[in-house]
Structure 1
Amino acid sequence: MIPNYEKDQLLKNNYSEDELRFLNLLAEKFPNVQAACTEIINLESILNLPKGTEHFLTDIHGEYETFSHVLRNASGMVRKKIDVVFGHILSEKEKTRLAILIYYPEEKLKLITNEQEDLNQWFGITLRRLIAVARVSADKYTQSKVRKAMPHDFAYVIDELLNEPNAKKEKYFDCIIQSIIDVDRANQFIVAISKFIQRLLIDRLHIIGDIYDRGPFADKVMDLIHDHYSVDIQWGNHDIVWMAAATGIRSSIAAVIRLSARYNNLDTLEDAYGINLMPLATFAMNAYEGDSCKSFIPQNTPKENYGSTQIQLTSKMHKAIMVIEMKLAGEIIRRNPELEMEDRLLLDFINYEKGTITIEGKEYELNDKAFPTIDPKNPYKLTKEEKELTEKLRYSFLYCDKLQNHIKTLFSKGGTYLSYNSNLLFHGCIPLDDNGELKELVLQGKTYKGKALCDQFDLICRRAYFNREHPEITSKDRDYMWYLWSGAYSPLFGKDKMTTFERYFIDDKKVHHEESNMYYKLRDDKDACCRILEEFGLDPEVSHIINGHIPVKVAEGESPIKAEGKLFVIDGGMSKPYQKVTGIAGYTLIYDSYSLILAVHTSFESKRRALLDEVDIVSTRSLIEHATTRIRVGDTYIGNNIRQQIKDLNRLLEAFRKGLVKTKIL
C-alpha cells in the first residue's frame, strides 16, 4: 500500500496509483531518461516511414500448393521487383528463372547446380542479382525492421550487402560475394536471401476465412499460417465448424466428417490429424450393408470408379455420418427454440412408408428411401451403436494434439471480424433484416446487433472452446457456436438455411435454393456499406469492407468491386471446385503505401511444373485506388499504437524528472 502522504503527492502531480505502477513496470524496459528519449526518437521516426504492404486472401479451402505459391511469389510482387531492377537488362526467361529460384530456392538449386558447367560463375552472377532484388524490397523499412527479418546465420553479411554499392566499396562487396562462394556457403546464402525477400514483400497477411474443407491439405495451410510472422484470420463458416468439432460438439464433428467424405478427403482427418475413422467404417458397413448409397458417392469421382471398394465404403460412411448429423442437429434445434430453426427438423416431415417428404406444404419424392437407423416415431434418437460411435469420435477430436494446436492458432490470431487500417474485414456478412437495418438477435436473453452481435459470438466461441472439457458449464455457448455454421443470422454463413438434406435426398433443385441475407442484396449500395462502416467505428469516407465467402462469377461479368469502391469481394476461386464458377483462380487484394491493387490469378498447376517448366501463376494487377500522398505508418493502425507508446514514454520521462519513478543504473 502507498502511504497517504505519498498518495497526496501523486495526486498533486496528476498521477494515479495504477499509472505509477504501470510506469514503474515500463521503467524496467527503459531504465533512465536516455533510454526513454532514444525510444521516443526511434518511434517518432517510424511514424514517418511508408506503411508496410498488406496482402488480403480468402477462401483457401485446403489448396496448400496454390496458397504456398501465392505467399512465395507475394501475389506477383516478387516478379514486379525483378522487373523494376532488371527491366530490359534480362530476358523474360532469365527473369522468370530468377523468380522461381526466389520462390523455391532449395528445390530449384538442386536442378540448376546439376546443369551448370561453371557453377562458381553462376553463383557470382546470381548472388548479385538476388542482392539487387533484396535491396529494392527493403528500401522502405527501418534498418531495425529489416534486421529482424534477416535469417540469423547471414544477418551480418546481408546487412552489409544491402548498402548501395559505390566505387569506394566495390571491391569490398566483390570480396564478400567471392568469400561466400569460396567457403562453400553459396547454396545456403541463396536460400536465406530468397526467404528474406519473400518476407519483406508481405508485411501483413490477412486471411478472410474458410481455410478448411474441399481441398486436400488444410492442415498444411494451417502449418504455414501458424508459423507466419504477421497474420490475422477472420473466421469463415468452414473454419467455425472445425473449431466447434475441436470443442467436442458432436453435430459439428459429424459435419466435418461428412464434408471430408463428400470431397473424398478423409485422408486429412485420418493421415494428417490421426482421427480414427475405423469405428465409423465398421458401423457404416454393418448399418448400410446392401445399400448402394448412390447419392453419397464423393464429388468428382469418375464413373468408372463408382464400384471400387474404397468408394463404396466412403459412400456408406458418408451417408451414415450425414444421418447422425441430422439427428444431433435436431437435438440442438429442439432445445433452443429461440434459434427459430424448427423448419430444419426435416426428419419430422418424412413419410417413411411412402418415401416422401413435405416441405412448405409440397410433397417431394426422396431419391433414397433407406433409413435403417431412424425410428419414425422418434427420428432424432440415436441408436445404441450411434451413441457409442459419436462418443468415440468426440474423444478423438478432443484429444488430437495437432488439431487442437491448429484450432488454438485460429483463436489466437483470429476473430469474427477485424478493423485494421481503415478496412473492415469479415468473411460472410453483417446480418440485416428485411428492411436493411441491422438484425437484432437474442442470445441468452439479451439482444445484440451489428458489431455487438459479432463481439458476442466471438466471446461465446472462446468460452465454449476453452471450457471444452467441461461442456456442462457452457452448454448454451456450445449450441450458439454450432449455430454459426448454418444459422440464418450467422455473420459467417449469411443464408436463411443450409439445404444439406435437400441436396442429398431431393432431385428437384428448386428446394436446394438458399436465400441470402439482405446484406448481399445491399452490398452494392454505397449508403448501406457506409452505415456498416460507421457501426464499426470507421470513417466511411476513407474506409472499405473486404469480404470472402461468395465466389465472384467473373466469367459471367461480375465485378469484385461493389458499392462504388466501398466493398471488395475477393473470393475468386482459389478452391479448384469453384474455378468453373469464377473463371479465374483467386484474388489477392494488395494495399501498399500508395495504392489498393487487385491481383487476379490464373490457375496454378503444380509446384513440380513451376520447378521443371518454370511456369508461374500469372497475376494481372488492377489499380483500384491511388493516394495523392504516400501513406505513412503514422496513418495506420500500428501508428495509433506507436503514438500511445510515445505518450506513455513521455509520461515516464516526466515521472523520472519529478522523481516519482527512480532511474535504474545500467
Structure 2
Amino acid sequence: MNIKEEDLKYLKLLSKNFPSIGETATEIINLEAILSLPKGTEHFISDIHGEYEAFNHVLKNCSGVIKEKIEIIFGESLLEKEKNQLATVIYYPKEKIEIIETLEENMELWYKKTINRILKVLQLVSSKYTRSKVLKAMTKDFSYIIQELLYERGEEKNKKDYVEGIINTIIEINRGKEFIINVSNLIQRLVIDNLHIVGDIYDRGPYPHKIMDRLMGYHNVDIQWGNHDILWVGAACGQKACIANAIRICLRYSNKEILEDGYGINLLPLATLAMELYGQDECKRFKPKLKNKIDEKDLELVSKMHKTISIIQFKLEGEIIKRNPTFKMDDRLILNKLDLKNNRVELKGENYPLLDNYFPTVSEEEPYELTFKEKEILDGLVRSFRNSEKLQEHIKFLLEKGSVYLKRNSNLLFHGCIPLDEKGGFREVDIFGKKYSGKRLLEKCDQLCREGYYDDKNIQARDFIWYLWCGKDSSLFGKDKMKTFERYFLEDKKTHEEKYDYYYNFSNTKEAANRILNEFGIKDRYAHIINGHVPVKVKKGESPIKGEGKLLLIDGGFSRAYQDTTGIAGYTLIFNSRGKRLVCHEPFENLKNTIEKCLDIKSTNEIVDYREIKLKVRDTDIGKELESQVKELKKLLECYKKGMIKSN
C-alpha cells in the first residue's frame, strides 16, 4: 500500500483518535461488523396536515411493522385478542395498563406474561443493531436491567432462574408498569431507524404544532418541505402575505387554536376589525369548512375574520406580484378588475358575476392599498408571529432538518414536482433575472428559503418564499396558479380549475422518471422517486405507483378534508432489508377506542421491490461512509506497522 505525502498528514491527525495498533484494529473490526448488519428500516410519511392523532399512531405502530413482529414471534401460540392487546400495550403502555388495572383480577400474573412477551419483541427488533446502538437508545431508568434481560435470556437453568428473578423483583416492588413503558418506548424507537417526512406538516388539521413537538423529540428524522410548510416559514420570518395566508387557512378549517393556543398569536384586533367591517354582512362565502367544530356565535365571528384576512391577503399578494415581474403572475391581479357597481369581475377578457360584492376596504382608485386599520392589525400580527418562541423554535427545526429535496439510499425524495416543459424536458425558471432548471433549480429554491428566514433585509428572498407557496413555477406547489379568489367569489367551476405541472403528465412514463433520477446522479436499478403532495384517489381507481414502478406517490391522506375524495387515509412507505412496500391505510377512528378496544388502523401492503438477499448496512449511504472510514483506518494501521507513524 503506497501512502502519499498528503495522505500522511491526514493519517497523523487520524492517529490522535486511534493512537495505537490495537485501537485502530479494534475500530476496523467494529466497523466491518456493523457493515454486515441488516439495513435499518426507513419509514416515509407525507401530507400529515395537522392530523396529530393519526400521525402519532402510524409512528407508534410503524405502519404495522410492530404488529408484524408480534405475528412472527407468536403466530398461533397466542389468541388474536392477546396479540392485539400486546400491540396496544406497546403503542400506548401507560394508558392501556391503567385500563387493564381496572379489569384484571391477577395483575401480578398479567405483568409476568406481558413482560416476557414484550421482551421477545424487543429481542427481535434490536437484533439488527449493535449492542452499543441499542444501549444508546435506552434511557437511564432500567438501562442495566433491560441489558441483562435482553442479552442473558439463555436456556440454561441458572440463566432462566436469573431472568425470572429479575422479572419477579420488578413486579414485587411495583415497577412493572414503569418497566413496560420503558421497554415499549425502546421498541418504538428501534423499529424505525430513519423517519422521512415528505412534506406538508402544516394546515387543515388542528395540531401541526403537536406534530412538530413530536418530531423534535424524534431520534432520526429529515423533512422535505411542502408548500404548506414553506408558507409557515414565511409567516415566521414576518412575510406579510404568508402570515395572511396562514391565518386564512386556520380560519377556513376552524383551527384558531393553532394560532392562539399553539403559538400565542393575538387575533383579538383582527376579530374587532372584522365585526366593525362586516357586522351586518353574513359572509356566507367564508363559512368554515368544518362547521361542526364551533357553535353558531363563534361561526359568525370566524366567518367575518376569515373574510377580513382574505381581502388583506389579496392586497398583499398584489403588491408582491407588482414588485416582482419575474414571477410572471400578473393574471393573479384581480382586485383592480372588480366592477362592484355592476357586481362583476373581468378575467381573461370575460365577465363573471360575483357571489359577494361587499368590499368596504377596497378602493376603486387604489385597490391594493391597505387601510390604516388593516396596516395597524398587520403590524401587530407580524410582531406576534416573529415573537412567538414556540413558532420560531419549530421553524428553525424545520430548516435544520429540512430541505427542498433529499437523496438517500438511491431514492430521490421531494414533496411536489420537478418543473418540466411540454416535451418532458427540465423547464427553465427565471429567478430574479437568472435561469435555473432541474437540480440547480431546487438547490436555488432551498438557498433562498434559508436566506429569506435568516436575513431580515432580504425582501426578495422573502417574496420568493411566498412564491414557493403558490407560484406557477414552484416545485413545491406544482400548479399554474392558486385560484383562491375564484373559489370564494365565482360560481362557475371552470374558473376554479388549477392545471398541474407537466411533471404530472410525464410521471406515468419510466423514461421521465429515469431522466429525473439521472439529473440527481441516481442510477441504481432499484432507485425510486418518492413524492407527496397529490392525494391518490383510490376510489376512482388511481394507483400510487407511477412511471412503470419508478415513482411512488405517498400522499398520506391524513387530512380528513380529503378522505371522502380519496376513499382511504392514504399511503406510507416502508423500506427495510427486504426492499420497499407501500402501506395503504384506512382512516384512524379515535384514540379512545383505539386504546380501549385494542383497535389498530387497518392497513394493506403492496410490495414495490423485494430482495431475495437481505440488504445490509454496507448497501446504504451510511455504509459507503463507513467503508471509506475503514479504508483510511487500514492505511493508518499500515503506517503503524511500517513505522511511518509512531504507535502509542
TM-score normalised to the size of structure 2?
A: 0.96
Query: 8 Å contact 2:45–2:556 — kept in the other structure?
Result: no
SS of residue paired to 1:36: helix
Q: Structure 1 residue aligned with 2:80, among 89, 92, 98? A: 92
Superposition deviation, residue 145 in structure 1: 1.7
Segments of structure 1 that go 5 or more residues without pairing to the other structure are: 1-11
In the alignment, which residue of structure 2 is the partner of 1:222? 212
- Unaligned runs of 5+ residues in structure 2 are none
Partners of 2:40 and 2:271 in 1: how far apart? 50
Q: Which residue of 1 aligns with 2:530?
A: 546
Pick the aligned partner of 2:134 from 146, 162, 165: 146
Check whether the contact 2:326–2:432 (CA below 8 A) recurs between aligned residues. Answer: no
1:559 aligned to 2:538? no
1:31 aligns with 2:19: yes
Distance 1:509 1:153 in 2: 60
> Which one is further off, 626-635 or 32-41?
32-41
Listed as ranges, the matches of 1:261-660 within 5 Å are 261-302=251-292, 308-467=296-455, 470=456, 472=457, 474-539=458-523, 541-653=525-637
Flag the 1:656–1:253 CA change in 2: closer, same or farther, 3 A: farther
Contact (CA 8 Å) 2:326, 2:433: kept in 1 or not? no
CA distance, structure 2, for counterparts of residue 121 and residue 311 of structure 1: 53
2:170: which partner in 1? 180
Q: Is the 1:572–1:584 Cα contact (8 Å) retained in structure 2?
A: no
User: In the superposition, relative to structure 1, how do residues 86 and 349 fare at CA in structure 2: closer, same or farther (>3 Å)?
Assistant: same
- C-alpha deviations, 1:235-294, integer Å up to 9, x for none? 001100001111110000000000000001011000111011111111211122211111
Cα offset, 1:28, TM superposition: 4.4
Q: Which of these residues, 182, 194, 200, is aligned with residue 190 of structure 2?
A: 200
The alignment partner of 1:210 has SS state of coil
- 1:524–1:562: 8 Å Cα contact kept in structure 2? yes
CA distance in 2, matches of 1:452, 1:20: 36
Q: CA deviation at 1:659?
A: 6.8
Structure 1 residue 165 corresponds to structure 2 residue 154: yes
The CA deviation at 1:618 is: 1.3
* Paired AA for residue 141 in structure 2: D
Q: Determine the C-alpha separation between the residues in 2 that align with 1:387 and 1:219.
A: 27
CA RMSD of aligned residues (A): 1.8
Question: Contact conserved, 2:535 with 2:570, CA < 8 A, in 1?
Answer: no
Task: Verify the 8 A CA contact 2:252 2:286 in the aligned structure 1.
Answer: yes
Q: Per the alignment, in what secondary structure is the counterpart of residue 596 of structure 1?
A: strand
3-state secondary structure, aligned to 2:370:
coil
CA shift digits 1:454-486 (9 cap, x unpaired): 00100111111112xx2x2x1211111111000
Per the alignment, in what secondary structure is the counterpart of residue 433 of structure 1?
coil
SS of the equivalent of 2:143 reads helix
Q: Where does residue 8 of structure 1 map in the other structure?
A: none
- Distance, in Å, in 2 between the alignment partners of 1:21 and 1:339 is 51
Aligned partners of 1:236 and 1:466: how far apart in 2? 19
Cα distance change of structure 1 residues 647 and 466 upon mapping to structure 2, 3 Å threshold: farther
Q: Distance in 2 between matches of 1:328 and 1:170?
A: 72
- Measured in 2, the distance between the counterparts of 1:458 and 1:483 equals 13
1:20 Cα deviation after fit: 6.8
* CA 389–41 in structure 1, closer or farther in 2 if over 3 Å, else same: same
Q: How many residues align?
A: 645
The answer as to whether partners of 1:338 and 1:442 remain within 8 angstroms in 2 is: yes
* 1:507-535 per-position Cα deviation (integer Å, ceiling 9, x unaligned): 11110000000000111111000000000
Q: What is the deviation of 1:650?
A: 3.7
Counterpart code for 2:507: R
2:51 maps to 1:63: yes
* Aligned residue type for 1:626: Y
Residue 572 of structure 1 and its aligned partner are, at CA, apart by: 4.2
1:234/1:415 contact within 8 Å kept: yes
Q: Which amino acid aligns with 1:209?
A: G
SS of 2:416's equivalent in the other structure is coil
- 1:648: how far off? 3.7
Letter of the structure 1 residue corresponding to residue 285 of structure 2: S
The SS at the match of 1:545 is strand
Structure 2 CA distance for aligned equivalents of residues 654 and 332 of structure 1: 63
Query: What letter corresponds to residue 400 of structure 1 in structure 2?
Result: S
Please, which of 51, 62, 77 is the counterpart of residue 65 of structure 2?
Answer: 77
Q: CA deviation at 1:73?
A: 1.0
Query: Per-residue CA shift, 1:358-400, capped at 9, x if unaligned?
Result: 1111110111101111111111111111111111111111111
Equivalent AA in structure 2 for residue 518 of structure 1: Y
Distance 1:511 1:251 in 2: 23
CA-to-partner distance for each residue in 1:113-152, whole Å, 9 max, x for gaps?
Answer: 2222222111111110111111111122221222222232
One-letter amino acid of the structure 2 residue matched with residue 312 of structure 1 = E
Structure 1 equivalent of residue 114 of structure 2: 126
- Residue 209 of structure 1 is matched in structure 2 by 199
The question of whether the paired residues in 2 share the 8 Å contact of 1:54 and 1:592 is answered with yes
Q: Distance in 1 between the 2:406 and 2:556 partners?
A: 21
Please, what TM-score do these two structures have when normalized by structure 1? 0.94
Distance 2:437 2:487 in 1: 31
Q: Deviations over 1:27-51 (max 9, x none)?
A: 4433333222221221112111110
Secondary structure in structure 1 of the residue aligned to 2:118: helix
Residues of 2 paired with 1:21 and 1:364: CA distance? 74
CA distance in structure 1 between the aligned counterparts of 2:379 and 2:645, rounded to whole angstroms: 58
